[in-house]
Amino acid sequence: MNGLHRVFITGLGIVSPLGLDTDSTWSRLQKGHSGIDYITAFDSEGFDTRFAGEVKGFDPESYLERKESRHMDRFAQLAVVAALEACRQAGLDPKKPDPYRVGVIIGSGIGGIITLSQQMEVLSQRGPKRVSPFLIPMMLADMASAQVSMVTGCMGTNYCVVSSCASGADALGQGWEMIRRGQEDVVLAGGSEAPINPIAIAGFNSMRALSRFNEDPQKASRPFDTNRDGFVMAEGAAVLVLESQESAESRGVTPLAEIKGYGATSDAHHLTEPGPAGQSAARAITLALNSAGIEPSEVDYLNAHGTSTPLNDRQETKAIKLALGEDAYRVPLSSTKSMTGHLLGAGGALEAAFCVLAMRDGVVPPTINLNDQDPDCDLDYTPNQSRQHKIDVAISNSFGFGGHNSVLVFANPERGR
């Protein structure tokens, strides 16, 4: 590897619409359960979309001191809780042996929009002197990463990646790059988002990006289905412990998976629409495979971006075919967004975690609500039921508004020994 370090995943932390931890989320995902329901965070009467993927039953004070949690926006609370679980699973104390060799990179597409919108109301109704002094340090997109650092004691590199819906994937890609070149020994990397509030729902509705299938929210997210009509907004966080081979071996920890490759490109095409030919997204897949030293014939599973929007699903299918060739028809795919909704900047990290779990358990999770497959989407999307399947190599696609394309490749840690 030309002196570059191998990078393992040794811990996972998840807070999602399907559960408050990794085990409950993964269990429900394999069973094809939906985490989508009518919005409870605010009164959605009059909105074109009245449902979302909310994290249900989340009480930050069950994990954090009351004063500590009250100085965090919800997206930061979710990130900290996911990071604490990931560290527990990895048996990691970031303060030992050298906290300056443990970094944090948490992506977020929107940041503290709940706090910002609440304080805008305070400004409007009560005047500027009543705006909270915590507005700025709670709304900034880097505050999930900062709070994870403060709560865990990580003192290495600490920043936020903002690349819309590719943010979480890019955070993992950057963490991988840091460790493999020797800058850090460990990086807590992932994404967090808490966008379920009136201004975010109204804004996405105004651009006609969200599904409006209010009749049955659990069937609203239907990637690759002819009747898909938009994505479903969701909240949550996923944090993965990335660790050099040397660090993992010195701690005696068993790796869950290895990050083998990362590729990123830009469509340079449109604010919200993916490139029409899928070429740039395909290039990101190819770059990731090339950096991993893996051929399309070796890929066993692909977690698709699969947003359930008419354009994305069609263009992603084109991109997969361009990148994998005939192997595109062999590889089982799934869009787990059919069950979780779209966690925006946290989506790529959550789906990376799903790839790791799929590899660990030999299970391809389903794409639910796929009952009338779009003829233009003619690959194997694992409709409606999970499938037992040995997975040694997995790909995760993440594509974001602005044309961001980010792809990660994972492998069984025993594969390269």
| Catalytic residue list | 165, 305, 342
In single-letter form, the type of residue at position 357 comes to L
User: What's the rounded Cα separation, in Å, for the pair 229 and 311?
Assistant: 10
User: What's the rounded Cα separation, in Å, for the pair 142 and 158?
Assistant: 9
Identify whether the C-beta of residue 117 lies closer than 8 Å to the C-beta of residue 199: yes
Q: Which residue, chain included where needed, has tokens 């974001």?
A: 400
DSSP H stretches of helix in 207-276: 245-251
Beta carbons within 10 angstroms of residue 42's beta carbon: 13
Q: Which residue, chain included where needed, has tokens 């890929």?
A: 299
Task: Please name the residues in contact with 252: beta carbons below 8 A apart, sequence gap of 6 or more.
Answer: none
User: What's the rounded Cα separation, in Å, for the pair 25 and 90?
Assistant: 18
Identify whether the C-beta of residue 167 lies closer than 8 Å to the C-beta of residue 108: yes
Tokens for 328, please give them: 């595109």
User: What's the rounded Cα separation, in Å, for the pair 270 and 264?
Assistant: 17
Under DSSP, the state recorded for 194 is -
Residue 101: what are its φ and ψ, rounded to 5°?
Answer: -105, 10
